[in-house]
Amino acid sequence: MRVIFMGTPEFAVPCLERVLEDGHEVVLAVTQADKPKGRGYAMTPPPVKICALSHGVPVYQPASLKNNAEALDKLASCGADVAVVVAYGRLLPPEVLAVPRCGCINVHASLLPKYRGAAPIQWAVLNGETESGVTTMQMDAGLDTGDLLLTRRCAVPPEMTAGELHDLLSQEGAQVLSDTLRALEAGTLLPVKQEGESCYAPMLNRELSVMDWERPASELHNQVRGLNPWPSASTRFGGKTLKIHRARTGGETEAMPGTIVMANPFTVACGGRSTLELLEVQYEGGKRMAGADFLRGHAAEIGRRLPD
């Protein structure tokens, strides 16, 4: 089939590669603009652009698709059978959805209708879900509200971070997309209306990082996992930010929430008489290190309360 591929970040790259491997003709890759990155703010192309160009696929980077006659003409001239949309980063207006002969198929990193929106992977981990997955859907004008096509489910182990789930689902997404396009070509797809309880997964922000030690350790553990690698859970230690990259729940304690109750492992009292062991931390301006090594280097005494 003739395919327009629309995507931007690393998550979308395995899907693009799989479409090409399956022998489809990717006639155009649509991605967001290059952006300044790093200390030198050098203009950096998005991963999908790098992948597309490496395979000789032409790339198009419109500033917007809304009310953009030039973009509409560009897409229409491709004569595409279908558009595949994977983490493109913008809503598609109805006139764009109508361009390909078979419409637009989206790969979404959740078990729809749960976790519609921009950050489904992170919110699934933040909420302590034990199962996640990837869904393909026939796009409509709503936000992740189109008819469901195919789904792949996967377990979320209790120590898995959002970053690890991201990497897993990017591969699962490539497989479910491959299956979906094969079924589309064969005429065997059976779209299903979304039913059941839905919830939204809004974009993350740094305000979510702050650890509230009054909460149970299980919830704080999910916070650490769900915000890894960005923006990272954190607390204040000695007036500076201490990021917490890895943690695990510990035993019970009578200490007040926020109290350091053990040095090795670095253990903090939480709500409900629970404790959280801080396994890997990073002090403001410093490198990642084991929590016990951090405490040893800062001569922190048992009984000190966080945040401080």
% the chain with pLDDT above 70 = 100
The predicted-structure confidence for 66-92, as pLDDT tens digits, reads as follows 999 999 999 999 999 999 999 999 999
Segment 168-173 long-range contacts (CB within 8 Å, at least 24 positions apart): 169/11, 169/109, 169/121, 169/132, 169/133, 169/134, 170/10, 170/11, 170/12, 170/13, 170/14, 170/15, 170/109, 171/14, 172/133, 172/134, 173/11, 173/14, 173/15, 173/86, 173/107, 173/109, 173/134
**Res 66: pLDDT:** 94
pLDDT at 48 over 90: yes
Using DSSP's 3-state secondary structure scheme, residue 139 falls into: coil
- Give domain limits for the chain: 2-186, 206-298
**Res 142: pLDDT:** 93
Which superfamily does 206-298 belong to?
Answer: Formyl transferase, C-terminal domain (3.10.25.10)
pTM for this structure? 0.96
Architecture per CATH, domain 2-186, reads as 3-Layer(aba) Sandwich (3.40)
- Chain position carrying tokens 């696929």: 57
The predicted-structure confidence for 160-207, as pLDDT tens digits, reads as follows 999 999 999 999 999 999 999 999 999 999 999 999 999 999 999 999
CA distance 283 to 289: 9
